Structure 1
Amino acid sequence: MFPSLSADCLRRRHAAVLSLWLGPGEDRLPAFATHQVGVAGAVVDESNGKVLVVQDRNKTKNAWKFPGGLSDLGENIDETAIREVFEETGVRSQFRSLLSIRQQHKLPGAFGMSDMYLICRLSPLSHHINLCTQECLCCEWLDLSELAETSETTPITSRIATLLLYGLNNGFHNIDLTMKQLPAVYCGSFYQLYHRRLPEV
């Protein structure tokens, strides 16, 4: 049995798949058998109401979207968001909250797996853009109000831009799911729990 295939996968599908990445850079094929987890970072500059967006090089529609990608094995979603933003745009950022979760099945390009897509709110620690031309066509700081209204984006990006605009105008505590690290029942282990902020006691 190949180490990358679970016994359950072999029992259910009676198949084995071997892969060899031939593209540039490291292998980017997803490592999970049933689901893949994608994470995007919406980097919001609260001082001017702008958000960092990119256009992917390999998409059929060159729409504005938040930078992001697949989470690595053992990587927390806040780490994925920060890493992906930096890899695609060169902008350093800090995790603030989880904004939304999208679940989708039969997603093209997901290798037959279900897809979980999480969007995090980040704050910029730098502003200079150093675009990854291998993955992106362009990258800009756009006004949230413009992103919420433009036809040059996707429905999910437009919806999250509207949510962020509401948070900017009415307080992010109204939209944020904050993260708290808690001890697991297993000795020495921890997990991250995301929920609405509790009132200070």
Structure 2
Amino acid sequence: MSRIDHINNPDAPAPNSVVPSAVAFILDDQERVLLIQRSDNGDWALPGGGHDLGEHIAETAVRETKEETGLDVEVTGLIGIYTDPRHLIEYSDGEVRQQFSIACRATPIGGRLAASDESMQVAWVSAADLADLSINPSMRLRIEHGFANAAAPFLG
């Protein structure tokens, strides 16, 4: 299924769903962030996805990271909550989702890097190399907040 991110687009279709999701901001020992290249739109992003019934939101971040990257992680903190109603995600099945994403800080504890059906590539990326990648502005904000390591989480 394909995906189009609409950010501040007055011509975007009206939203018809909200699905809580979680992403994981993970650094390696060289201070590089783990990113996936999404198979649904080709953009680079933090690993993550929709919250399933019966799980804690931290479990969502752990599960989605394993599914998309092959790594096992442990959630260690909260970076922020991202609910911008001007960020809409349009899917090819007709769903238009309003953003609701919780960004978690996590650390790798095992596994092996591997792409999946949801990720064309998985890579450790330095902060200096982020500018060269196609990353939507909302995801870029989450990555910037992860690197900033603020004392209080972002609420927006």
TM over 0.5: yes
Q: What runs of 5+ residues in structure 2 fail to find an aligned partner?
A: 2-15
Match of 2:64 among 70, 84, 105: 84
Which structure has more relative contact order (CA 8 Å, sep 6+)? It is 2
1:23-102 to structure 2, matched below 5 A, reads 35-45=18-28, 47-59=29-41, 62-102=42-82
Letter paired with 1:118: I
Is 1:153 aligned to residue 135 of structure 2? yes
Q: Which residue of 115, 134, 142 maps to 2:125? A: 142
Query: 1:142-181 to 2 correspondence within 5 Å?
Result: 142-147=125-130, 149-167=131-149, 174-175=150-151, 177=153
Structure 1's 42 and 136: CA in aligned 2 closer, same or farther, altered over 3 A? same
Query: Is contact 1:93-1:125 (8 Å) kept?
Result: yes
Q: Is the 8 Å Cα contact of residues 90 and 97 (structure 2) preserved in structure 1?
A: no
Distance 1:71 1:129 in 2: 22
Q: Distance in 1 between matches of 2:44 and 2:96?
A: 25
When the two structures are superposed, what TM-score results if normalisation uses the length of structure 1?
Answer: 0.59
Q: Root-mean-square deviation (CA), in Å?
A: 2.5
Q: Distance in 2 between matches of 1:131 and 1:124?
A: 16
**Which of the pair has more CA radius of gyration?**
1
For 1:55 and 1:89, the matched residues in 2 are separated by: 10
Contact 2:74 2:108 in 1 (8 A): yes
Runs of 4+ with deviation above 4 angstroms: none
**Number of aligned residues:** 136
Percent of residue pairs identical: 23
Greater strand proportion: 2
Q: CA deviation at 1:127?
A: 6.2
Alpha carbons 1:94, 1:123 under 8 Å: kept? yes
Displacement of 1:117 in angstroms is 1.2
Question: 1:146-185: per-residue Cα shift (whole Å, max 9, x none)?
Answer: 22x3342221232233223322xxxxxx3454xxxxxxxx
Amino acid of the residue matched to residue 79 of structure 1? E
